[in-house]
Amino acid sequence: MLRELIKECAGDDDNAEKPERRRMRAVLRDQLAVAEPLPGFLPAPSAPVLRAVAGLFLADPAEPRTLAELGRAVGASERTLSRLFKADVGMSFSQWRVRLRLHHALTLLADGLPVTTVAHRCGWSSASAFITAFRTAFGCTPGSRVR
């Protein structure tokens, strides 16, 4: 529905100011305000302490440390980091980490790396766990995504 509303509202015809077009734009604004982000969308943290955590994961998406361990590394408590992730990026640390890893996985898959290699480089303990996470996020398996 959103795609069709966007296409219709983006049209540059003479009907731009008709009442029905204004109502469509209002519906589009309402729907965009409550729409879930796309599965591949990775919000970048703005809080300095979260940027430090993000830097660790950008350097190594397979970073295995817990939130408490990461907190000690960046000088914040686990509870503070947890609260900041929710407030700053709109999701939990675990959700953000999975999205970051999936984002990195898409790049590796596009480079032609095997699924098992991608799974391990991105921090999954097994290829099957990676495939499950990938299917949950994107609705297809990693092998079908790159074909």
CATH number of domain containing 67: 1.10.10.60
Same domain as 120, residue 58 = yes
For residue 40, being part of any structural domain is answered with: no
Output the pLDDT for position 86: 95
Same domain as 82, residue 14 = no
Alpha carbon distance 141, 95 (integer Å)? 19
Which candidate, 76, 129, 81, places its Cα nearest to that of 105? Answer: 129
Same domain as 129, residue 62 = yes
Domain count, the chain: 2
Same domain as 71, residue 28 = no
CA 111 to chain centroid, in Å, comes to 20
Output the pLDDT for position 147: 46
Same domain as 20, residue 80 = no
Residue with tokens 């970048």: 44
pLDDT at 129 over 50: yes
Same domain as 71, residue 24 = no
pLDDT at 103 over 80: yes
Average pLDDT over residues 18-23: 82
* The model scores a pTM over 0.85: no
- Provide the mean pLDDT of the chain: 86
Output the pLDDT for position 13: 59
Same domain as 68, residue 20 = no
For residue 42, being part of any structural domain is answered with: no
pLDDT at 145 over 60: no
DSSP letter for each residue of 120-137: HHTT-SSHHHHHHHHHHH
Question: In percent, how much of the chain has pLDDT > 90?
Answer: 56
Domain that holds residue 23: 2-34
- The pLDDT tens digits for 35-85 are 666 666 788 999 999 999 999 999 999 999 999 999 999 999 999 999 999
Helices within the chain (DSSP H only): 2-10, 19-34, 48-59, 67-74, 78-89, 93-110, 115-121, 127-138, 142-145
Average pLDDT over residues 109-130: 94
Output the pLDDT for position 36: 66
For residue 94, being part of any structural domain is answered with: yes
pLDDT at 2 over 70: no
Answer for the pair 111, 124: CB distance below 8 angstroms, yes or no.
Answer: no
For residue 41, being part of any structural domain is answered with: no
